[in-house]
Amino acid sequence: MLEIDLAVQTEAIRNILARHGIRPALALLNDRTPFRYTGLYKLIGVTMHAVHVFDRQSEYRTWLKAVPLDSSFCALAMREGEFVTRHASADPRLTHRRPLAGMVESYCGHVLRRGDGTPWGTLIHFDLEPRSIAEGEVVFLKSVVPLFLDYLD
């Protein structure tokens, strides 16, 4: 079995951020998954605002811009530190809570916290279709989340 050095991969994300910025780093993270979107959503008041979103299909979607926190999977990620659902409409944990019903079907997100511990927002993969993500990729995403904070306001 091929051994993958996460330290080398983390350094690749760090270098992309430093040399090319956030969008190319999100594209690299997106390329590691089957998800259509990878983005950074910032918490402003009670709304999650898309500050950077990479769309694999390069289409512009206005509904990506802002989502009420209580209508988003980001609320779950922020409360728990991370949240993953591969098929939201079939997820028994979401029987009574279906944020973005009919729009976002799969989600993998981690909270971004400032140095003082307050939440900045979330780094997420999401899609309109059911998608799976390897557990190792969830761990990797969590490990690179802090790298983005130096490039955000």
pLDDT at 64: 72
pLDDT of residue 99: 59
What is the residue-level pLDDT of the chain in tens, covering all 153 positions?
A: 345 677 889 999 999 999 999 999 999 999 999 999 999 999 999 999 999 999 998 876 655 788 889 888 999 999 999 999 999 988 888 877 665 656 789 999 999 999 999 999 999 999 999 999 999 999 999 999 999 999 998
pLDDT at 32: 94
Instruction: Tell me what pLDDT residue 58 has.
Output: 83
Name residue 45's amino acid: G
Contact 87, 73 (CB under 8 A): no
- In sequence order, the β-bridge partners of residue 121 are 42, 112
C-alpha span between 134 and 16 (Å, rounded): 23
Structure tokens at 131: 């998608």
> In order of start, what are the domains of the chain with their CATH numbers?
6-149 (3.30.450.40)
Q: Tell me the C-alpha distance between 39 and 37, whole Å.
A: 6
